[in-house]
Amino acid sequence: MLKVLSPITSHATLVASQSKQKCVGLTKKMLPVFFKKKEILLPTLLGCYFIGCLITFAIILFWINLNNFLVLNKPIKADVLVVEGWSQDYALKSAAHEFKKGNYTYVLSIGGPLQKGSQLSHYKNMAEICTDILIKNGVPAHKIVPLAHPDTPMNRTFASTIEVKNWLNKNTDLLSINILSVGAHSRRSYALFKKNLPQNIKIGIIAVKDNRYDSKKWWSSSDGARTVITESIAYFYSLFL
C-alpha cells in the first residue's frame, strides 16, 4: 500500500532537506578556513622498532649519567665559603681544607634545628655542630659565622639561602661565594642560591664526592638509588620555587 503524504508533511520534508544541504555547504566552505588536508608519514613496523630502540637507548644513557648531571663543580675565586652543616664529617674536613687554601674572608656554617637527639645534646642546630667540626679541623673560630634557619618541614636548602642572603645584605663588601655541598645535592644547592641571592653576588659550587655509593653504578646500592632519585625529583621541583 502506498503512503500518501499530506501537503504539510511534504513541505516540511523539503524544508528539512534544503536546510541540511545548506549546512553541508556552509561546512564545506568553512573547512578550508580552520582545517586543511595534509599528507603525513607514519612509521612502518621496522620504523617503530628502530624508534623504540633509540628511545630505550636515550633512557638508559640518561639513567647512567643522572648522578653525573646532579654533581656540579664550578668553583670560583670567592670571599666567602658557604658550608652545608648537614654534610658528613669527611666533607666538613674537605671544607676546612678548602677554607685554608682558598684565602676566604669568612666561612658560613648553615643548617637547621636537629631532627633527632636535640634533648641529649647541647647543640641546637646543625650550624653549631658544623662550626665546632670546622674548628676541630683548624678553621679559626672568628672566621666562622653560624647561620641557623628556622625549623621547616621542607625546602631546608631554600631556607638556608634566605639566611645567607640576609647576612650578605649586611656585609655588602663581600660579593662572591663558593658553596661546598656533597655529591648529587650540589646542583640543587647551586640552583637555589643562584635564584635567591642578588644578581651582583658571584656564585661558585664545590661538590665533595659522596662516599656512600659508587657514582658510576649509583643504582646498585640503596644509598645511591635513594639519593640520586630523591635529589633528581627535588632538583626539578626547585626549578619552580
Query: For residue 39, what pLDDT is reported?
Result: 81
Query: For residue 19, what pLDDT is reported?
Result: 61
Q: Note the pLDDT tens digit of each residue in 122-172.
A: 888 999 999 999 999 999 999 999 999 988 877 889 999 999 999 999 999
Entry pTM: 0.78
Query: For residue 78, what pLDDT is reported?
Result: 96
Q: For residue 76, report the phi and psi dihedrals to the nearest 5 degrees.
A: -130, 170
- Does some domain include residue 208? yes
- Does some domain include residue 166? yes
Please give the Cα distance from 67 to 228 (Å, whole number): 6
Find the CATH number of the domain harbouring 167. 3.40.50.620
Query: For residue 190, what pLDDT is reported?
Result: 97
Q: Note the pLDDT tens digit of each residue in 7-65.
A: 555 555 655 565 656 565 555 665 566 667 778 888 899 999 999 999 999 999 999 99
Write the DSSP assignment of the chain as a string of letters.
Answer: -PPPPPHHHHHHHHHHHHHHHHHHHHHHHHHHHH----------HHHHHHHHHHHHHHHHHHHHTHHHHH---B----SEEEEETTS-HHHHHHHHHHHHHHT-SEEEEEE-B-SS-GGG-S--BHHHHHHHHHHHTT--GGGEEEEEPPP-SS-HHHHHHHHHHHHHHH-TT--EEEEEEEGGGHHHHHHHHHHHS-TTSEEEEEEE--TTS-GGGGGGSHHHHHHHHHHHHHHHHHTT-
- Does some domain include residue 12? no
Tally of domains within the chain? 1
- Does some domain include residue 50? no
Range of the domain at 212: 74-238
Query: For residue 240, what pLDDT is reported?
Result: 85
Query: For residue 122, what pLDDT is reported?
Result: 85
- Does some domain include residue 29? no
Q: Is 72 exposed, middle or buried (0-12, 13-18, 19+ CB in 10 A)?
A: buried
- Does some domain include residue 16? no
Q: Note the pLDDT tens digit of each residue in 221-231.
A: 999 999 999 99
For residue 152, which of 132, 126, 187 has the smallest C-alpha distance? Answer: 126
Query: For residue 92, what pLDDT is reported?
Result: 96
> What does the pLDDT average to over 195-212?
95
- Does some domain include residue 45? no
- Does some domain include residue 228? yes
